[in-house]
Structure 1
Amino acid sequence: MLDLTLAEIAEALQGELVLTDAAVAAGFSPDTIVNGTVDTDSRLIGVGDVFVAKRGEFDDGHRFVEPAVASGAVLVVVEHPFDVAVAQVVVPDSVLALGFFATEVVRRVRALGELKIVGITGSNGKTTTKNLLRAILERQGETVAPRDSFNNEVGAPLTMLKLTASSRYLVAEMGASGKGEITRLIRMAKPDIGVVLKVGLAHAGEFGGIETTLATKTEMVQDLEPGDVAVLNLDDTRVAGMAEKTAARVVWFGLSDAAAVRATDVDVTARGTSFVLHLPDGSSRPVRFAVLGQHHVMNALAAAAAAFELGVGIDDIVEALETVVRAERWRMEVMGGADGVTVINDAYNASPDSMAAALQTVAIIAAPGQRTTAVLGEMSELGPYATEEHDRIGRLVVRYNIHRLVVVGEGARAIHLAAEHEGSWGGEAVFVETADEAFDLIAADTLPGELILVKSSNSAGLRFLGDRIAQANSTTEVLP
């Protein structure tokens, strides 16, 4: 974080600086400079850091103020004062204060003149695209990007607060569960480049329908100015329509020949994906992309488009893309096993689009005679679309001729029923209630050379099942 005095922080947070007698005795004053990491997790607090006590759905961060101080916090942001020997800023709402804090830090770093901000949104692919763009940009200069999927009203500002005076790039992943949330994040850190990947049914239950999802994702480009850039997916008609909603210059990416940043000669194998990257300046280069699945080529194109607009040349873009060995932990993560068994663990998140893409990838990369198994769990947050979309996935399993389907959990039962009711399929469909039952079933009958996909939303917990299946067959390793 930037060097800021306690008085400056209190003003930015629109709060009251409180210094107890013990804090004053410990040497704290309004002029004390703070530059440590800011976090809402007391377990991550170290010497010199700032702890923000956030009220959550299941717990209250105020319970952890004293442990945070014991771990070395020099400032706590709280909604009521504590008797502690460190500085406090008391605010009405810790989450709102966190946003104010991020806004001020971004403003100050912007004023130094070097920072460029890229905002990324979409129903799928945000985290992968963020990771790919970070891999490209961190070779060019100091780059700040979120860990995991830190893309909401808490995670995004925590990422922004990692900026320093020497930061050159901020890659901000911007998610939302309702209208106005992306706008709020953009007003903390307005992008120079806004990237929209896809508009699909992910979180449709929370949004209230696909049209609300579209309106929410469009917020990414509506506030962009004529000197900014909107990087849009030409292959997604909903995203393409956003060109009419932005004042920014539009750069298209996709597989279409009309896209300025495009891929040709895409070849998906069990070892990754190869394609030829084409950029707007006419340059092209073959890419050997270790991340599995054609859908991740689109994420690579989006990252390449943003990087190109920031002045990065094709050689540097390709070299960086080829160093990325997986999209993210539990996202199309390929694990090698004994006797040629391969496990694809893609159970960190799931939507109808990403589930279909994962099944398609299995169908494409499976060798002749190789048995394929799909272990599928619930796709969460689909609301009224849940039964219809789970049913569609069950029918896709049949269409792609996956040999064995194991459906885990009541929320995914419609996948099992749809596959069983689909005719002319020689495969086997099994329903189990728990991940433990699924593990026992798979462990008892895994063939040499089998290809096993594990896919569900994070809430279904199957990512750990994928690890267990891989570990049961070998010492887990990510294939190069």
Structure 2
Amino acid sequence: MIKVQLSHLQSVLNAELIGMDTEIAAVSTDTRTIDNNTLFIALIGERFDGHDFCQNAIENGAKALLVSKPLAVDIPQLVVADTHQALGQLGAWLKAKMTAEHGLKTLALTGSCGKTTVKEMAAAILATKGQVLATAGNFNNDIGVPLTLLRLTATDDYAVIELGANHLGEIAYTTALVKPDVALINNLAAAHLEGFGSLDGVAKAKGEIFEGLAAQGQAVINLDSNQLATWQPLLAQHTVSHFSTTQQNADYFAADIKVNAQGLACFTMQTPMGAIDISLTLAGTHNVSNALAAAALTMALGATLAEVKQGLEHVVNVKGRLAITMLPSGLRLIDDTYNASVASVKAAIDVLHSLSGKRYFILGDMAELGEESGSLHREVGEYARDKQFDGVMTFGRASAVVSELNNGLHFSDKTALIDELKQQLHQQFSQSNTPQVTVLAKGARSSRMEDVIIALQEDK
């Protein structure tokens, strides 16, 4: 964030200033991330009230407060009607200021799967051209997006903003804050169905990113995705680029896709600026599509073929997202535990299937699937059955059908699952001095399947 006087923010927010004017250089909604120049924003949620933590914020060094009611404290306060709305206003203000004064260019992207990977790929490409601010972690909702925008500084040339949602209207709100130059819907799949009701609801929610795109803004569309007809009316006024791994007439197309023994893809990327060979550092053929999306986004802002190649070939694995590590024992782990949808589970299964040796598929429940949960878990189980893995173990409730379809083992106790997995792995390694064994762990955030990865890493 830039340094700014509290009185200026008072004007931006039409707030009441109580106390002396002062300078702040950061904002926070978390008392654990405060330094001496921080404005603490007291958000109110269903189960918490940030006003209850203002004293903690002060003790941790907060310089001022943003509140919805005056408090009896000794530091300056900005008082507004709604602190959540004020947070959004501040994010939009700083983003607009950096755009107007420093020429900031902004990408925004959403989709059911691959958002974070495309974000990392696009950021890596743009980093070859200038300084990039990208969404950190899961800061992609109506709180995380404005907090991300408030990290902007005058030295940032590009912003790459990920937009997520679990209800209608959320992406419309965050897109209005971001006002991107280029926007992408990466794909559409059965995810967060509890919040959207159906795949049509998901399509409508994702389409909000185009509703908020300025008239001169550019849109990027995946021709391999369903529900394209839903978004076409939103694109009439925009320049549109397409990408595809199946349709050669797309603006961005992948030809000659090959996968090596490590599960990494190489291909020829065809673009409006010519063709170039790409060797990805991330596992899975699904990342070919993600790479095309990142290329389309960044080339809309002037990235060259050489910059696209350099960026894509130096992307680093993100923890919990198909991150492959080899342990000293020779055991290969695939950590895809950050979250799970049907499409992402199938993609992970494909990666595991592409590898040689013994293969174990460990799955926790997929969440937020509503009434479709049973049928979608069955779909995943049938997909895995065709791959004939050496071991399938599941944890939770809904995932039991996956084990049943694969002659696997189901557990309601994660510790018991880990103990059984360790025993089977020890048996594999006792039978061979140089076994090839891979374990894939996958599940919804609520399943916390990273516990499996951690246990195997700690197992001697």
TM-score range, shorter chain: over 0.9
| Deviation of 1:240 (Å) | 6.6
8 Å Cα contact 2:278/2:313 also seen in 1: yes
Alpha-carbon distance between aligned partners in 1 of 2:54 and 2:127, rounded to the nearest angstrom: 34
8 Å Cα contact 2:65/2:78 also seen in 1: yes
Alpha-carbon distance between aligned partners in 1 of 2:127 and 2:46, rounded to the nearest angstrom: 35
Output aligned runs, 1:7-406, within 5 Å: 7-19=7-19, 28-29=20-21, 32-34=22-24, 36-112=25-101, 114-239=103-228, 242-246=231-235, 247-255=237-245, 256-269=247-260, 270=262, 272-282=264-274, 284-326=275-317, 328-364=318-354, 366-367=355-356, 370-406=357-393
Alpha-carbon distance between aligned partners in 2 of 1:437 and 1:95, rounded to the nearest angstrom: 43
| Deviation of 1:241 (Å) | 5.3
| Deviation of 1:148 (Å) | 0.4
Alpha-carbon distance between aligned partners in 1 of 2:413 and 2:258, rounded to the nearest angstrom: 36
Alpha-carbon distance between aligned partners in 2 of 1:205 and 1:6, rounded to the nearest angstrom: 41
8 Å Cα contact 2:254/2:270 also seen in 1: yes
Output aligned runs, 1:412-427, within 5 Å: 412-417=399-404, 419-420=405-406
| Deviation of 1:290 (Å) | 1.3
| Deviation of 1:275 (Å) | 2.0
Whichever residue aligns with residue 298 of structure 1, its letter is S
| Deviation of 1:331 (Å) | 0.5
Q: Does 306-315 or 8-17 show the bigger shift?
A: 8-17
SS at 2:339 equivalent: coil
| Deviation of 1:445 (Å) | 1.1
| Deviation of 1:271 (Å) | 5.3
SS at 1:147 equivalent: coil
Aligned length: 449
8 Å Cα contact 2:106/2:182 also seen in 1: yes
| Deviation of 1:140 (Å) | 1.8
| Deviation of 1:224 (Å) | 2.6
| Deviation of 1:82 (Å) | 2.5
Whichever residue aligns with residue 188 of structure 2, its letter is V
Alpha-carbon distance between aligned partners in 2 of 1:214 and 1:80, rounded to the nearest angstrom: 39
User: Unpaired runs of 5+ in structure 2?
Assistant: 429-434
Cα deviation 1:68-117 (Å, max 9, x = unaligned): 22222212112222333322112222211101111211222222150111
Whichever residue aligns with residue 197 of structure 1, its letter is N
1:467 and 2:459 aligned = no
Alpha-carbon distance between aligned partners in 2 of 1:120 and 1:240, rounded to the nearest angstrom: 19
What is the percent sequence identity of the aligned residues? 30
| Deviation of 1:386 (Å) | 0.3
Whichever residue aligns with residue 117 of structure 1, its letter is T
8 Å Cα contact 1:336/1:343 also seen in 2: yes
8 Å Cα contact 1:226/1:249 also seen in 2: no
8 Å Cα contact 1:339/1:449 also seen in 2: no
Cα deviation 1:205-259 (Å, max 9, x = unaligned): 2111111111111111123344221011111132475234212111011212122
The structure 1 residue matched to 2:422, chosen from 423, 426, 443, is 443
Q: Does 72-81 or 168-177 show the bigger shift?
A: 72-81
| Deviation of 1:56 (Å) | 2.9
Whichever residue aligns with residue 342 of structure 2, its letter is P
| Deviation of 1:194 (Å) | 0.5
Cα deviation 1:279-318 (Å, max 9, x = unaligned): 2112x22222111111122112111111111111111111
Alpha-carbon distance between aligned partners in 2 of 1:185 and 1:463, rounded to the nearest angstrom: 30
Whichever residue aligns with residue 420 of structure 2, its letter is L
SS at 1:102 equivalent: helix
| Deviation of 1:352 (Å) | 0.5
Alpha-carbon distance between aligned partners in 2 of 1:84 and 1:262, rounded to the nearest angstrom: 60
8 Å Cα contact 1:221/1:248 also seen in 2: no
The structure 2 residue matched to 1:411, chosen from 392, 398, 402, is 398
Alpha-carbon distance between aligned partners in 2 of 1:230 and 1:439, rounded to the nearest angstrom: 45
Alpha-carbon distance between aligned partners in 1 of 2:196 and 2:87, rounded to the nearest angstrom: 24
8 Å Cα contact 1:205/1:385 also seen in 2: no
8 Å Cα contact 1:271/1:290 also seen in 2: no
| Deviation of 1:37 (Å) | 2.1
User: Unpaired runs of 5+ in structure 1?
Assistant: 20-27, 421-427, 474-480
SS at 1:395 equivalent: helix
8 Å Cα contact 1:195/1:231 also seen in 2: yes
- RMSD of aligned C-alpha atoms? 1.7
Q: Does 212-221 or 405-414 show the bigger shift?
A: 405-414
Cα deviation 1:441-464 (Å, max 9, x = unaligned): 111111232111101011111023
| Deviation of 1:348 (Å) | 0.5
Alpha-carbon distance between aligned partners in 2 of 1:94 and 1:413, rounded to the nearest angstrom: 43
Q: Does 129-138 or 74-83 show the bigger shift?
A: 74-83
SS at 2:392 equivalent: strand
| Deviation of 1:274 (Å) | 1.8
SS at 2:408 equivalent: strand
